[in-house]
Amino acid sequence: MKFNYTNPYTSTRTPVFARNVVSTSHPLAAQAGLRILQQGGNAVDAAVATAAVMTLVEPVSNGLGSDAFCILWDGQKLHGLNGSGCAPAAWTPEYFKRKYGGDARTPPQRGMDSVTVPGAVGSWVAMSERFGKLPFADLMAPAIETAERGYLIPPVVQGKWAAATPLLASQPGFAQGFMPWGRAPEVGELFRFAAAARALKAIAATRGEAFYRGEIAEALEKFSTANGGSLKASDLAAWKPEWVEPISRDYRGYTLHEIPPNGQGIAALIALGILEKFDIASLPVDSVESQHLQIEAMKLAFADVYHHVAESSSMALTHLQMLDDSYLASRARLIDVKKAQDFQVGNPVKGGTIYLTAADESGMMVSFIQSNYMGFGSGCVEPEFGISLQNRGHGFSLDAASANVVAPGKRPFHTIIPAFLTKDGAPVMSFGVMGGNMQPQGHMQTLVRMIDYGQNPQAACDAPRWRFNAGLEINVEPGMKPATIEGLAALGHQMDVINDAYQDFGAGQFIWKMGDPAVEGYVAASDARRDGVAAGF
């Protein structure tokens, strides 16, 4: 791919060229990954170290109680890791209806009854054991130092922190962990997290055993019981991450790879499969016609995903059936190029997630994502070890007819999705876009810009985005051309210009291989919608 390196969009970032790169949404985390690479670690080591630091420097989006997913190229082939947690053994529809009333449709949004087994720490260990070079304890060292010495709060993180505090201040452990002065920190204030340092030291010393079968597991059970939850140490001990085969779909000579369900990555594959039936490249990049086709393809994808996708063993259809070419062609024929349509998609939720990607000069590339789901997740923070717990249980249904109905040991529908691009079986790009249901939409929009229009990764990242919500509702960034907004509205899209990039339009990180990694290296991009950076050497 020969990119156009002229950026037509307002940006505070430029492409980064290097042979070893880490790109994520906080500079200290990216630098932690570089530190590990400079110590002789590989891209997996760097990703694990970066992920551990991210639990501290962007706690609004992830924590030690997060879930995680990964797609990585080991130099020879692609591997997927599903590090999403499962429901406690006590969870059934009856459990929730007894506690929250017979008309409850999902587990609660916050509190201990929204917490499934956290999978991030176990994912770090699994990645390190299978592909890492350095001792696992070395990978935790930057995070331990960050927790003990603290860091100054950056602007985007502070805004999310302040917004969440009134909603979560009453949740158990939240104020103790995240309101050190009885309020959210201000920009530039020093935040230390001694409890998380204790956890990280125990995790480092035991290669994660303390979290799932030791003192942290026992503390989590005690905390859960004291606050009305049912998470047990036995639930943590029974869980393990799962190595999986990524699912894929070809698009214009490239192949996009996603983690299979229970995640929503298949939505990006469906949308691109539909979009490939149209000659997008013949339309101007930011035109009404191009954006309309992308929006309609994404709506069709979500219509299927929200109905069918759950843990794969519970789905009535396989992902191959959902990606069948003739089926996608029939879906493409439903698109009216002159009119927006309502494909009856349900109301998607918003999310809080971090994404990072790392690549080294040996050719190893890592696409990694971890999340507490909604901002600060459940709001529950185990105080002894500073474990900020996700609220992924809210993603279950209590409807017995749903493929996503809650059951003991089952994984819920997940929004977080790392992505990877190959061409003719060789690695091209590790990338991801954070933000609830924005993630597959971001995958599709940025890939179209790079593949169909030749925009370089930073320009594709900086370009104004739209976000489909439900029905005919479309959120759009203020940077989109007024003529395009007006033209889409004339087609029937209900356009709402939202000046809140962090909340509504996600944030991406991209590493594209330029040739031989030891010679040409990579070009990387980092999203200005967050505080991050792409850094390399």
* HEC-encoded secondary structure of 261-312: CCECCHHHHHHHHHHCCCCHHHCCCCCHHHHHHHHHHHHHHHHHHHHHCCCH
pTM of the model: 0.93
Q: Using DSSP, state whether 199 is helix, strand or coil.
A: helix
Q: Using DSSP, state whether 462 is helix, strand or coil.
A: helix
Domains of the chain, earliest start first: 16-71+89-240+366-395 (no CATH), 244-350+417-516 (1.10.246.130)
Q: Are 517 and 363 in contact (CB under 8 A)?
A: yes
Strands (E), 172-227: 190-191
The two three-digit tokens of residue 511, written as one number: 């590493």
Whole-number pLDDT of residue 502: 55
The gap between the terminal CA atoms of the chain, to the nearest Å, is 23
Instruction: Tokens 């969440």: give the residue.
Output: 164
| Active-site residue list | 353
Burial class (CB in 10 A: 0-12, 13-18, 19+), 145: middle
Q: Are 479 and 30 in contact (CB under 8 A)?
A: no
The two three-digit tokens of residue 211, written as one number: 């979290």
Instruction: Tokens 């690479």: give the residue.
Output: 37
Output the CA angle 261-265-267, nearest 5 degrees.
Answer: 105
* 53-to-47, 120, 268, 389, 447 alpha-carbon distances in Å: 10, 12, 29, 16, 28
Single-letter amino acid code for the residue at 389: L
Where b means 16+ CB within 10 Å and e means fewer, 265-278 reads: bbbbbbbbbbbbbb
DSSP state of 101: -
pLDDT in tens, the chain (537 residues): 889 999 999 888 899 999 999 999 999 999 999 999 999 999 999 999 999 999 999 999 999 999 999 999 999 999 999 999 999 999 999 999 999 998 899 999 999 999 999 999 999 999 999 999 999 999 999 999 999 999 999 999 999 999 999 999 999 999 999 999 999 999 999 999 999 999 999 999 999 999 999 999 999 999 999 999 999 999 999 999 999 999 999 999 999 999 998 888 899 999 999 999 999 999 999 999 999 999 999 999 999 988 888 878 878 788 888 899 989 999 999 999 999 999 864 333 345 678 999 999 999 999 999 999 988 999 999 999 999 999 999 999 999 989 899 999 999 988 888 999 999 999 999 999 988 788 999 999 999 999 999 999 999 999 999 999 989 999 999 999 999 999 999 999 999 998 875 567 888 999 999 999 999 999 999 999 988 899 999
Distance of CA 323 to the CA centre of its chain: 22
User: Which residues are CB-contacts of 28 (< 8 A; sequence separation ≥ 6)?
Assistant: 53, 57, 146, 151
**Half-sphere exposure of residue 507, counting CA atoms within 13 Å on the CB side?**
28
The two three-digit tokens of residue 18, written as one number: 């290097």
Whole-number pLDDT of residue 133: 98
Instruction: Tokens 């924005």: give the residue.
Output: 438
Whole-number pLDDT of residue 458: 96
Element (H, E) at 461: helix 457-462
Whole-number pLDDT of residue 12: 82
User: Can you say whether the dihedral through the CA atoms of 75, 48, 443, 530 is positive or negative?
Assistant: negative
Count of other CB atoms within 10 angstroms of residue 10: 9
Where b means 16+ CB within 10 Å and e means fewer, 180-219 reads: eeeebbeeeeebebebbbbbbbbbbebbbbbbbbbbbbeb
Strands (E), 200-340: 242-244, 247-251, 254-258
State the Cα–Cα distance between residues 521 and 525, nearest whole angstrom: 14
State the Cα–Cα distance between residues 404 and 154, nearest whole angstrom: 37
Instruction: Tokens 């890592």: give the residue.
Output: 366
State the Cα–Cα distance between residues 171 and 22, nearest whole angstrom: 34
